[in-house]
A and B are shown apart, each in its own frame.
Chain A
Amino acid sequence: MIEAEGITFTYKKTNEVQAVRGVSLRIESGSFVSVVGRSGSGKSTLLHCLSGLLTPDSGSVRYDGTDIYAMKDRELSAFRNANIGFVFQNFYLEPNFNLLENVMLPLLVRRMSVRQAKARAMETLKKFGIDDRAYHFPAEMSGGECQRAAIARAIVGDPTYIFADEPTGNLDRQNGRLIVETLHELKDSYGKTVIMVTHNEADTEGSDAVYVTEDGKISVR
C-alpha cells in the first residue's frame, strides 16, 4: 500500500513552478490506479515523487508504512530495484542494447550474474511473446513491441509496484489498447499494483481508481 501525505514539489531552476501542491492519496496493494489530467498538470512530477525518483519538498510517501524519503539514497535505490518497475512514454530502451540486454539491466543492477540475468530476461520476453526478437535492437522494433519490451524490463525483477507514465502516448490506438491490457494482466494475473498516467480517457476503463490532476492538485473521480 502506498500512502502519500501532503506532498508538494516545486521546480526551482529558473523561475519557480509549483508542479505538485499538497497531494494526499492512498493506493491499495494489488489495485490498478489511473491518473489523468491535462498536459502540464503535474502528472509526471507526481509519479516521480510517488516512485522515489524525486524527493518532494514536503509531505511523505509511505510504502506499507515505510517512509521512502527518510531512507538513505543507497537504501532508496535498493528499494526501487526490489519493489518498483517503470514504464515510460518513450520506452527509454537503451538503443545500444538489444531487447534482451535492456531487459537484463535491472537484474544486473541487482548484481545478478550475467548468465542468470540472461535466462530470466529471456523467460520474461517469452511471456510477452517477443522472445524471438530478443537479439534485435530497439530501432528495429515497432513502438508496440518496444513498449512490451519495456514492460518486460519493468517486471523482470518481480517488483510489487509498476509505474507507467503515459505508456500508450506514442502508440496507435490498437497498440495502446494492447499495452493497457498487458498492464491490467499484470494486476490480474500477477497481483501487481499498477499506477498508470495517461492522456487517454479510454485507457482508464477498468481501473480500480481514477485520479484527476489539475494544476498540481488531485481529485478522485
Chain B
Amino acid sequence: MGYAFFVLKKLFRRNAVIYVPIAVNVAVAVILVFVFFTLAFNFSSATDSLYADNLAFYTVNIYSYEGMTAERAAEYADTEGAESCRVAYADTVYAEGLGGSVIPATYCSGDLALLGGEAFAAGGMPESGDEAAVTCSLVYFLGMEPDEAVGLEFTLAEGGESRTCTVAGVLGEAECSGLNAALYSDVLVPGGGDTVACVTLRFTRDADISAAIAGLDEEGADYMSDYRTLDTMRAVYDIISAVMFACGGVLGLLFALGARAAVEYTYKENILLWSLMKTFGGRNSDSFLISLLLTALPVLAGAAAGIGLGALLLAGLSSAQFALWGVPFSVVSAFSAPAVGITAGAGVCVTLLLALMNGYSYGRLDVSAALRYSE
C-alpha cells in the first residue's frame, strides 16, 4: 500500500491536467442524470401520493354487511394492501391510506368490457345493471368460496341512488399495479360507466345506506375532478418520464465516456511508468490499485459535486417550477434517495468497470513494445 500511495502521489501532479475536465465532465453529467432521475422519481411518488392523499377515500369498499366491525375492516384494508383503517360516520367503516405504487382498487363499471369469460372463477358475466361481478378477494374476505357467493344479493350505492344487485360471477384475482394499469374494483356492475365512472361501496352495519349515500354525493364530484387531474398527470408523467429516462441514459453515457477518457489518458500518459513497473517485476494488482485510485478520485469527486449541485439546483427549482406548471402538489423532495442511489451506484460501477479495463490493459501490456512506444 505504501508503494501504491507513493506512486499515486507522484502521478497526481502529472495527471492533474486531466482531473479538472474529468471532474467537470462527470459533475455535469451527474447533475443532469441526478436531476432527471430525481424528477422522474418525484413525479412517480407525487402521482402516488396524489392517489394516496386524494383518492384513498374513494378506494374504500363499503358493503352492506351485518358482521362488519372495525377489526374486520382493518383486516380487509390489510388484504387490500392498505396501511390503515378507521371507523367513520358512526356506523360506517372505510379503509384509507393506500400507498406505494399499487393503485388501490376503484369501482369502474366501464372496466367490465375488458374482461373475458376466462376471468371468472365461478359464475359468469353480469348481464344487466341488477347483476354484478365480484372479485375473489372480496369473497374470501367475506369468508366464502367463489361458488357460494354466486347468487348472493347486496346493496349497491351509486350516485345518489341505491339498488339491490345479485352476484352473477366471481372474478379470479385481478391485480392492479403501476400507474398505467386499468382500474379494477371488487364489484363490477355493467351499465354504470358512462356518466358516473365510479361506484363507491361502503359496508354499513345498520344498513342505513341512504345516509351514507348523501355523504358520498358531494365527495363523488370532487373525486371526478381529481380523477381527471390524475388522468392528465398520468399522461404527462408517461411522456416526461420517457424523456427523462432517455436523457438520463444519454447523460449516463457521457458520464461513462468521461470516466473512460480519464482511464485512457492515465494509462497512456503513464505508459513509461507502467512499463518500468512491469519490467522491474511489478504485480498487476499494484498497477490496478494505482490506476483505480488515480481515475476513481476525479470521477467520484465529480460525482459528489454533481449530486450536491444537483440537489441545490432541484431545491431551488422544484416548488416554483411545479407551481408554474400547475401541478397540484408542492412538496418535491430535492434529495431523492433512489436517484442518489442510481447516480452514485452507476458512478461506482462505471469507475470500477473502467479501472478493471485499465487493469486488464495493464495485465496485457507488452513491455517490450511499450518501451519502444515511449521512446
Q: Which range holds the interface residue count of chain A?
A: 20 to 34
Q: B268 within 8 Å of A by Cβ?
A: no
Of the candidates B3, B280, B371, the one whose C-beta lies within 8 Å of that of A80 is B280
A81 to B7, CA, bound (A): 17
Tally B residues with Cβ within 8 Å of A.
28
- Cβ–Cβ < 8 Å partners of B3 in chain A: 108-109, 111, 114
Please, which residue of chain A has its CB at the minimum distance from the CB of B278? Answer: A77
**Does A96 make an interface contact (CB < 8 A)?**
yes
Chain B 340-375 interface residues, beta-carbon cutoff 8 Å to A? 366-368, 371-372, 374-375
A218 within 8 A of B: no
Interface membership of A53, Cβ < 8 A: yes
Expressed in whole angstroms, the minimum distance between the Cβ of A90 and any Cβ of chain B is 6
- The answer, among B6, B284, B368, B374, for a CB contact under 8 Å with A92, is B374
In the complex, what distance in Å separates the CA atom of A88 from the CA atom of B280? 13
Would you list which residues of chain A between 58 and 103 have a CB under 8 Å from chain B? 73-74, 77-82, 86, 88, 90, 92, 94, 96-97, 101
- Number of A-B residue pairs having CB atoms within 8 Å of each other in the complex: 70
Contact A96 to B11, CB < 8 A, known contacts A77-B281, A81-B280, A113-B2 = yes
Contact of B281 among A44, A48, A94, A106 (CB under 8 A): A106
Chain A residues contacting B372 (CB-CB under 8 Å) are 44
B10 at the interface (CB under 8 A from A): yes
Interface on chain A toward B: helix, strand, loop, or mixed SS?
Answer: helix
Is A139 in contact with chain B by the CB < 8 A criterion?
A: no
The answer, yes or no, to whether B272 is at the interface (CB within 8 Å) is: yes
Contact residues of B with A, CB < 8 Å? 2-3, 6-7, 10-11, 13-14, 272-273, 275-284, 286, 366-368, 371-372, 374-375
Chain A residues with a Cβ under 8 A of chain B: 44-45, 48, 53-54, 73-74, 77-82, 86, 88, 90, 92, 94, 96-97, 101, 105-106, 108-111, 113-114, 157
The 21 listed contacts between A and B (C-beta, < 8 Å) are: A44-B372, A53-B367, A54-B368, A73-B284, A77-B278, A77-B282, A79-B281, A81-B280, A86-B279, A92-B275, A92-B276, A94-B272, A96-B10, A96-B14, A101-B6, A105-B277, A105-B280, A108-B2, A109-B281, A109-B282, A113-B2
